[in-house]
Structure 1
Amino acid sequence: MLPVAQICPQLVQSLKQHNKVILSAPPGAGKSTYLPLFLLNHADFAGKTILLLEPRRLAAKSIASYLASQLNEAVGQQVGYQIRHEKSYSKNTRLLIVTEGVLIRKIQQDPQLTGIDLIIFDEFHERSVQADLALALVLEVQQLNSDLQLLIMSATLDQHKLALALDAPVLSSEGRSYPVEILYQALTAEPIWLQSARLSLQASLKHQGSILTFLPGQRDINQARDWLLEHNKDSRLDIYALSGALTLAEQQQAIAPSPQGLRKLVLTTNIAETSLTIEGIEVVVDSGLCRQAVYHPKHGLTRLETVAISQAAAVQRAGRAGRLSAGICYRLDSAELWQRRAAFTPAAVLQSDLTALLLDISAWGCSADQLFWLDQPPQANLKSAAWVLLQLKAINDKGQITEFGRQLLATGTEPRLAALVLHGKELEQQGEQGAAWLAVVLATLLENPNRSREQDIDQVLQQPLYGALLLQAKQLAQQNQIQVSNYLPQHLTAALLSRAFPDRIALQRGKGYLLTNSAGALLFPDSPLVGAEVLVICDLYFGQSTQVSLAARWTMAELMQEWRADLQQQSYVGFDAQQGRFIAEQRLMLGCCVLERKPLNTKLTETEQQQAWLDWLKQQGLQALPWTEQALQLRHRLQLMQRLMPEHQLAKVDDEALWADAEVWLAPALGRFTKLNDLNKLDLYTLLWQRLSYKEQQLLTSCMPDSWRSAVGSMIPVHYSDEGEAILSVRIQEMFGQLETPAVANGRLAMKIHLLSPARRPLQVTQDLASFWATSYAEVKKEMKGRYPKHYWPDNPAQAMPTNKTKKAMQK
């Protein structure tokens, strides 16, 4: 009996008392293979329907097959599944295994999930964006359907955090796994795929069982497989790949038991960390790396980055070797470095493109901040997602979903690519033969990593789709009633792509390109796209500079024709630093790109000149203003007072605050200037000082003085550093008899005293004068008395009279 069986009665009881329950169960406990059938057959769930969520299509289909076999039934009877583009269930199905995206679609179609009694989240620790959204929506559904129950299962999640957030009880089950010996292998200079492949082959000679090798991504798998096929001499060892890029049939072949007398070496990504059990695995080789999607809001692009996996993921990987017997795990790491890894894998919602998520939220009829989140989605990513959806016309300026947005949701792919597919169908209906199928092909290519090195997408299209990509394209076409075509009208490629990437239409500018989203990009030196007037950019490479890695070439005439209904006329007044003068012109705009410009023969008003200066300065930054030392000192004083004495709420002087009211304090002083050199006439100190009220000026003068009067009457400047220090540089003789260190902010910050020699050379730095007199002064006196014999060097400086004179002058 599997370990989870011991806790099943307690789980049923908890579900009677709570509508949300968390189950912590390590790999091998039976939470995916035993628990669902136990609940299905329990009297409390007689006649009820259960949805079991799996994070991956392969896991959903495999688990459905296994559970159905336990009932001696075919899939589609009591146990069924529904994944993207494929389903098998009937009116008799009471346990339906689905992926998270399928559940989200079901909730959007039926907000009460009528007929569903229990939803089980399996492997929730993976924390995909769709899993977090599905949980948020299920919690919403529970408010409409109080009978709906929720069970969240995980092997490595931070259970305490989830339990507190959901106010749900946590039940824990023991796992069933065999001991796994961990062996660390130091990394070498070899590529990670080669070192992993070599280690895997060596392991196959030492051990009798099958081997599971974890690599970061598809390219690593392909390279390792090619190397192993060449170097493996064991005819009884089969080499398989297992990744999301394969068809389900190819994936199932990789996890199926080996025939009698054979064993396998499976090269995989993190797809095999959980949910799947591959028969006969006794050895795991763990590269310690994975490919992680990281979103860059500025460019609206997701990059797959190779990163170190967390300790929790590493434990899951090692556990694959101990599911059926004792095993071995080789980690390409050291024990010391492994301890420094992050404990858990960060939630995908923290670093992903949230465009699809936000469209789903808009379809639900609320905003992101109205939903439950275990980790709040970053505002920068949400803002970027909203901007993209506005460009696609999927939402309006209030964030509400449009009819076109609902059409995008029904397409079966992410919003950008859905817009591409719908535009292809529209062109097909207008008589452009093959346009819809071309759109499907483009969407399929872009949804999968670009494995070719081509930078011109028209060259990528020369290579026919095959295998998993062809199957995926046909499934997408079938869902959208699109006919497969032998003809690809490639003259429409850029126009179609522009509907998916309106923010990445790029015009030639100097040596590079300006995108409609205001970002800039360069071509690689050997790019076949050199000379293109216009590009539609699909992908960018982020290195020392941003470079175009995949795009379609276009012409200005074609752009103007395709987007004529969306072009905006704009009157522009600005300062041109290169020409050194103000310009006024009528512009035809697409996003931030100027397609046409015509000069306006009008004289600028003073107000227009002020605004033109402000616009130019915002591009350059406040550093373009003539910051004198006096002006900088005033700014530092204000910033320090805001930090030390926030109760006075003085006017802020950070960049954001200064720009917020620049039209009030700065613009009036700019109106009379016509040349760039005129800016040097600005008296920034006076402008900033006048920005303060009389009360604020008095407070600042009192609490953060710009000078300090010594005991002999000297007014000594106080220097305020950008690190938040108040510095007083003073000759040591003027501080004799001073036990208390001068301070600012009503005594909250002691000044840093730079004690100087009679020749104003540095002697000592202190923030505690009394301590200095009592300790370090004797050494200073010993050295300085011989160097400056005409000056006063008392034995007891703490009680001596301060002076700024020589000994002779003091006697007069």
Structure 2
Amino acid sequence: MSTNSRDWAGMPPLPIDAILPELADTLTTGAACLVHAPPGSGKTTRIPLALLASAWLGKNKILMLEPRRLAARAAARHMAGLLGEKAGARVGYRTRLDIRVSSATRIEVVTEGILTRMLQHDPELSGYACVIFDEYHERSLQADLGLALCLEVRAALRPDLRLIVMSATLDAKAVADLIAPCRIVECPGQPHAVETRYLRVSGRFLEERMAFAIRHALTTEHGSILAFLPGAREIRRTAELLGPPGAGVEIHPLLGALTATEQDKAIAPPAPGTRKIVLTTAIAETSLTIEGVRIVIDSGLSRLPRFDPKSSMTVLVTEPAALATVTQRRGRAGRTEPGICFRIWDQTDEISRKPYPAPEMLEADLAPLVLDLALWGTTDPATLSWLTPPPPGHFNSALRLLQSLEALDDQGRITPHGREMALLPLHPRLGHMVLSARKHGLGPTAAALAAILGEPGRSMRGSSDLRDSLRIHPSTLSRKDTLRASMEQIARLASINLEQPDPEAAGILTALAYPDRIARRQEDGSYRLTSGRKAVWPGPSTLAGHEFLAIADLDGDAAGAKIWQSAPLSWDELQTHFRQQFRKEDEVRFDPLKDRVVSLRKIMLDTLCMREEKLGTDPETVTSALLRGQKDLARLNWSEECKNLRDRIRFLRSLDPAWPDMSDQALLESINEWLAPFATGARSQADLGKINLLQALKALVGWDKMRELDRQAPEFMTVPTGAHRRIDYSPESGPALPVKLQEMFGCATTPTLADGGYALVLHLLSPAGRPLQVTRDLPSFWKNAYPLVRAEMRGRYPKHPWPEDPATAMPTAKTKKAMTPR
């Protein structure tokens, strides 16, 4: 059957038909083309078929990229159906595990990663004249990489290679500038009108609101329903809330974790007289027509991965879907007839929504991209043309990971091991695991585990213990099971014979793939990873008691991530496979919980302590660690003599900075210098409490300075009675001399400190020791204030002398009677 006769011309017209002549003229000139057409306009299926009659195509083929396997299969089957054929004749498809092509195939619909592998194998893309990037607005990592490589191929090897970028929601000018010379072809209209209705739905949980909206649509509208939810968990709960939908209504989940058979069943036309409710994730947003669907119910939420290069962890984030995304979802309702889109949010909420979703380049783990670039021969991504260049932080994080997996050398060039990894349709972590396991006789188990871990959403369906997932034999799985097909493909490409997996090897194999997620149990029940991060179980787990785990699936906050899937591993396995990465760290430190110095030799893997043993340490090192661990001088045994000594020196330092600094901060910073000689052999806080701090402080001051201290700031002052009274040097009041007023009779001048440079503050007391007056000028007090004090105190203390001229009177601490000679 000739393609030139437009075998599909009898089909109903679609809006895209109006631009096909302009598109054909553009491609005849060799320029690139950007097709901007609304959802349902027919661009995915009509444009490739229309190009088959182009003279420039000759005997070459058209390659069309789709972001998802489901969309690739559906688009190829639909185009083949328009030609009256089955997929694999003139229209075929290639996905990772499903190929339907033949020698007659002229249009190949492939998933985006397939293009990268084709280019790596044959950079000229021999036999293909045109590459179509469908639904490019999704901005997947592989689509951006594929376009960058195609632009380089077109510039260097294939100037005749035609490029078409297609989307309903895209920043058209930016893309056109990237692939210039380029013509933007706009497609007016859409096949059928779609009415948008905003529902105010009450309900605490999203699933409750969605279930209400679905029931409302069932009772008020006809036709099948496509309901968009963020993920598998919400789909399951919504289905439970809906319960049995009633006669003539079927509920089907649609998500990436399902098998191809289960997905095809969800998108198949409903049986005559029945309606379908398809509960879907983002998998159904683009390039997909579900017969009979005329109602879309949109939750308005998207669940997207966010990669943190610092923790090397990907966190799933649920957020409001971008305007471009909800536009795509709305377009699913008007594919075959006029439709309705129910949005369970207020229209005013759309003001705050982002216009476009963030490119995966900005959010994803770039390890697969960096490995592909290295295989291409590019160590610097700036040499390629990108709509969004790889962020340096993400790129460098991926570079370090690949170097740790021995896929790249120190210059970022691919190694032989890296070349083997790149040939496997796996994330580099899993590829490294399979190839490393092969050397140790664990290849069959690694192939099975790689297939399990590589399946999208598998952890949500399987056990948290990866050993349970490996208690299968590939031959017991159905031939149609994608898991079996994946195992067989990995085994074939890695030259491994599939056998019964060994479940007990799950831990060490996972550790080979995720060396940064080897974890050791801590005293509080949490796990500490080699990367330094903390991880916890989201609930009870049979694995919670194991000392070591290798964690495959980790989600949540990087500071306390949740463990979804892991397997135990033993100390012997770690020694066998990671001994070369172990390093020893001797640690002598003060443990505040034990209140003593601990001396340990640690076996470290990255930042994680794997084993500890006691370490013999010399007394000097122990004492030094004990003193370094002191954070508060208040815990030392400070006597009154020590405090007084520090206060006296502080006073003199306020007059002369040459005196040593004895503040808490200064003593703490220099604690090893002044206290270590008096703390030899001390291991604990209790040992420090036995030290004579006064001697240590005096040694710090020095013999000569101590003599100077006693002269300039004596501890005691001799008053006129001949008694020694202690001077108060405390910072709150001193220096001050508390003394009874009568003891100062006969003193005509104010006592001084610091060689006469500081007049001592006198706290003059009554005969009962109560405060009478504070003065720094004793002569002035005698002359001016004393007469008033005398007049008041004579009546209160008549037994004590109150002379009229105290400056010449005899000093005393006695009463008048006691002073009279007998």
Q: Please, what TM-score do these two structures have when normalized by structure 2?
A: 0.68
Quote how far apart the aligned CAs of 1:290 are. 2.0
Distance 1:61 1:394, change over 3 A: same
Cα offset, 1:597, TM superposition: 6.4
Match of 2:336 in 1: 324
- Partners of 2:159 and 2:617 in 1: how far apart? 69
Pair 1:601–1:370, CA change in 2 (3 A): farther
Aligned to 1:95: 107
SS in 2 for 1:26: coil
1:401 corresponds in structure 2 to 414
The residue number in structure 2 matching 1:66 is 78
The separation in 2 between residues aligned to 1:677 and 1:519, in whole angstroms, is 38
User: How far did 1:583 drift?
Assistant: 10
Does the alignment pair 1:32 with 2:44?
yes
Secondary structure in structure 1 of the residue aligned to 2:174: helix
Counterpart selection for 1:539 from 537, 553, 560: 553
SS at match of 1:292: strand
Counterpart position of 2:809: none
Q: For residue 307 of structure 1, give the secondary structure of its aligned residue in structure 2.
A: strand
Q: Give the C-alpha shift of residue 299 in structure 1.
A: 2.4
Contact 1:444/1:472 (CA < 8 Å) preserved in 2? no
Given candidates 575, 587, 591, the residue that maps to 1:560 is 575
Distance 1:111 1:60 in 2: 23
Q: Report the Cα offset of residue 134 of structure 1.
A: 0.9
Question: Using the alignment, how far apart are the partners of 2:137 and 2:147 within structure 1?
Answer: 12
CA distance in 1, matches of 2:337, 2:602: 72
Return the offset for 1:287. 0.8
Any idea what SS the aligned residue of 2:169 has?
coil
1:675 and 1:125 map into 2 onto residues whose CA distance is 67
Q: Equivalents in 1 of 2:544, 2:261: separation in Å?
A: 42
Q: Percent identity?
A: 35
Q: What is the correspondence of 1:120-131 to structure 2 with a 5 Å cutoff?
A: 120-131=132-143
Partner of 2:652: none
State whether structure 2 residue 130 is matched by structure 1 residue 115.
no
Amino acid of the structure 2 residue aligned with 1:378: P
Q: Deviations over 1:410-463 (max 9, x none)?
A: 222211222333344444xx3x69534543454356x43422585443355569
Indicate the SS of the match to 2:210: helix
Which residue of 2 is the match for residue 192 of structure 1? 206
Alpha carbons of structure 1 residues 523 and 206: separation in structure 2 relative to 1, 3 Å: closer
Shift in CA distance, 151/602, structure 1 to aligned 2, threshold 3 Å: farther
Tell me what 1:448 maps to: 457
State the secondary structure of the residue aligned to 2:43: coil
Tell me: CA distance 1:280–1:521, structure 2 relative to 1, closer, same or farther (3 Å).
closer
Deviation per CA, 1:270-298: give whole Å up to 9, x if none: 21111111112221111111221111222
Q: Does 2:512 align with 1:499?
A: yes
Partner residue of 2:230? 216
- Cα distance between partner residues in 2 of 1:21 and 1:42: 15
Matches within 5 A, 1:328-343: 328-343=340-355
Answer whether contact 2:471 2:501 (CA < 8 A) is retained: no
- The answer to whether the 8 A contact 2:314-2:555 is kept is no
Aligned to 2:742: none
What secondary structure is seen at the aligned counterpart in 2 of 1:375?
Answer: coil
The secondary structure found in structure 1 opposite 2:128 is: coil
Q: Distance in 2 between matches of 1:675 and 1:191?
A: 64
CA distance in 1, matches of 2:612, 2:219: 71
1:363 is aligned to 2:363: no
Structure 2 Cα separation of the partners of residues 453 and 476 of structure 1: 17
SS of corresponding position for 2:52: helix
The residue aligned with 1:591 is 606
Equivalent residue for 2:483?
A: 473
Aligned counterparts of 1:64 and 1:524: Cα–Cα separation in 2:
42
Task: Give, in angstroms, the shift of residue 342 of structure 1.
Answer: 1.1
Quickly say closer, same or farther: Cα 1:600–1:20, change in 2 above 3 A. Answer: farther
Change beyond 3 A, Cα 1:356–1:11: same
Change (3 A) 1:39 1:299: same
Structure number with larger C-alpha Rg: 2
Between 1:325-334 and 1:171-180, the stretch displaced more is: 171-180
Shift of 1:6: 2.2
Instruction: Show the 5 A alignment for 1:377-776.
Output: 377-427=390-440, 430=441, 435-436=445-446, 438-440=448-450, 442-444=452-454, 447-451=456-460, 455-459=464-468, 471-479=481-489, 480-481=491-492, 482=496, 485=499, 487-511=500-524, 512-523=526-537, 526-543=540-557, 545-564=560-579, 566-569=580-583, 588-595=603-610, 674=672
CA contact (8 A) 1:246 1:468 kept: no
- Aligned-partner Cα distance in 2 for 1:214–1:420: 36
8 Å CA contact retained: 1:28, 1:175? no
Q: Distance in 1 between matches of 2:42 and 2:254?
A: 23
Q: Equivalent of 1:50, from 62, 80, 83?
A: 62
Q: Tell me which amino acid in the other structure corresponds to 2:45.
A: T
**In 2, Cα distance between equivalents of 1:26 and 1:539:** 38
Quote the residue 2:723 is aligned against.
none
Give the Cα–Cα distance (whole angstroms) in 2 for the partners of residues 238 and 250 of structure 1. 14
Contact 1:517 1:591 in 2 (8 A): yes
Q: Tell me the amino acid that sits aligned with residue 451 of structure 1.
A: M
Q: Is the 8 A contact 2:452 2:458 kept in 1?
A: no
8 A contact 2:320–2:353 mirrored in 1? yes
Q: Is the 8 A contact 1:78 1:95 kept in 2?
A: yes
Q: Partner letter of residue 209 of structure 2? A: Q
Distance 1:434 1:104, change over 3 A: closer
8 Å Cα contact 2:235/2:280 also seen in 1 = yes
Tell me by how many angstroms 1:546 deviates.
3.2
Distance 2:424 2:619 in 1: 52
Determine helix, strand or coil for the equivalent of 1:61: helix
Rounded to whole Å, the distance in 2 between the matches of 1:675 and 1:263 is 85
Residues 1:179 and 2:189 aligned together: no
Q: CA offset at residue 130 of structure 1?
A: 1.0
CA apart distance, 1:499 = 0.8
Compare 339-348 and 502-511 and name the one that shifted more: 502-511
- Note if contact 1:536-1:552 (Cα within 8 Å) is conserved in structure 2: yes
Give 1:376 deviation, angstroms.
2.4
Corresponding residue for residue 238 of structure 1? 250
Q: 3-state SS of the aligned residue for 1:150?
A: strand
Once residues 674 and 319 of structure 2 are traced to their aligned partners in structure 1, the CA distance between those partners, rounded to angstroms, is 47
- 8 Å Cα contact 2:477/2:484 also seen in 1: no
Q: Which amino acid aligns with 1:241?
A: P
**Equivalent of 2:31, from 9, 12, 19?**
19
**RMSD of aligned Cα (Å):** 3.4
Letter matched to residue 478 of structure 1: E
For this pair of structures, how many residues does the alignment match? 612
- Distance in 2 of aligned mates of 1:437 and 1:417: 9
Classify 1:541/1:257 alpha carbon distance in 2 versus 1 (closer, same or farther; 3 Å). closer
Amino acid at match of 1:218: A
**1:267 to 2:276 alignment:** no
Q: Is the 8 A contact 2:324 2:357 kept in 1?
A: yes
* Contact preservation (8 Å) 2:426, 2:454: no
| Structure 1: distance between partners of 2:54 and 2:416 | 44
1:285 and 1:194 map into 2 onto residues whose CA distance is: 13
User: What are the ranges of 5 or more consecutive residues in structure 1 without an aligned counterpart?
Assistant: 617-669, 679-812
Cα offset, 1:506, TM superposition: 1.7
Contact persistence 2:459–2:553 (CA under 8 A): no
| Cα separation, 2, equivalents of 1:343 and 1:383 | 29
Q: Does 1:313 align with 2:325?
A: yes
Deviations 1:311-364 (A, max 9, x none): 111112112222222221110100111232111111111111111111111111
Cα pair 1:391 1:502 within 8 Å, conserved: no
Q: How far is the alpha carbon of 1:522 from its aligned partner?
A: 3.9
Deviations 1:555-609 (A, max 9, x none): 2232112222x3344566887685999999876442223445685869999xxx9
Preserved CA contact (<8 Å) 2:28 2:56:
no
Alpha-carbon distance, 1:671 to partner: 12
